[in-house]
Structure 1
């Protein structure tokens, strides 16, 4: 059975004033399958080429926080205690941090987990 999903690409934006970014992850929400997960990969070399001196560990920590929100881990605080839809709403909301979500996109799939993997491979690398 095919189900609708929504996703956002997570971007590392080291200097928002320059409007340069590097895609580092994807968050996918599928309400019908009760699915919310993130898949990410940080290419430290590419990131440092974009922003010499960036703290790559801090970027990875921010992405780990996204994982925690998706999984409902108590370490992520109040956001992780919400419903899956509310958690996705929290993660897709724009912020003025180094890690920012892109626009929301959608599609249909018969396997949300595999679709998340495909999106990360195609959009992040």
Structure 2
């Protein structure tokens, strides 16, 4: 592995039980470092915290959504997230199935129980360790 720092982007994954209230609890992080060929996700679901925040929340649905994110990062679930043909101003084109495309899908805003926060960036020599540090810092 190179000791030279490489740029990365990340989003915190937010559990948003009631979209209309715009309240959330961070439950995961996705990190993309193209220079290292790295796209990864880690999550931590504190069931007691979620239950206190949103009584009656379907924790299994939150875990399922996080597992889907991990599948997309690995490249296992790209078809389920709409990679295929894309409409453009010039007609349709085949979308690429690469890490950049998958990160683009994961960082796109959506109104579901699991939402990405804003994109942030930095530099790292070890994307895996940076992802772990971000999870500790942002999720708990």
Moved over 3 A (4+): 78-81
Q: What's the offset of the Cα at 1:18?
A: 1.3
1:86 matched to which residue of 2? 101
Q: Distance in 2 between matches of 1:35 and 1:70?
A: 9
If the length of structure 1 is used for normalisation, what is the TM-score? 0.95
2:51 pairs with 48, 70, 86, which one? 48
2:90 matched to which residue of 1? none
If the length of structure 2 is used for normalisation, what is the TM-score? 0.85
- Match of 1:7, SS state, is strand
- Match of 2:137, SS state, is helix
Q: Distance in 2 between matches of 1:42 and 1:76?
A: 24
Decide whether the 8 Å contact of 2:78 with 2:97 is kept in 1: no
Tell me which structure has the larger Cα radius of gyration.
2
1:117 pairs with 99, 119, 132, which one? 132
Q: How many residues align?
A: 124
Q: Deviations over 1:46-75 (max 9, x none)?
A: 1011110011011000000000000011x4
Which of the two has greater helix per residue?
1
Q: Distance in 1 between matches of 2:53 and 2:123?
A: 34
- The CA RMSD over aligned residues, in Å, is 1.3
Q: Any stretches of 5+ residues in structure 1 without a counterpart?
A: none
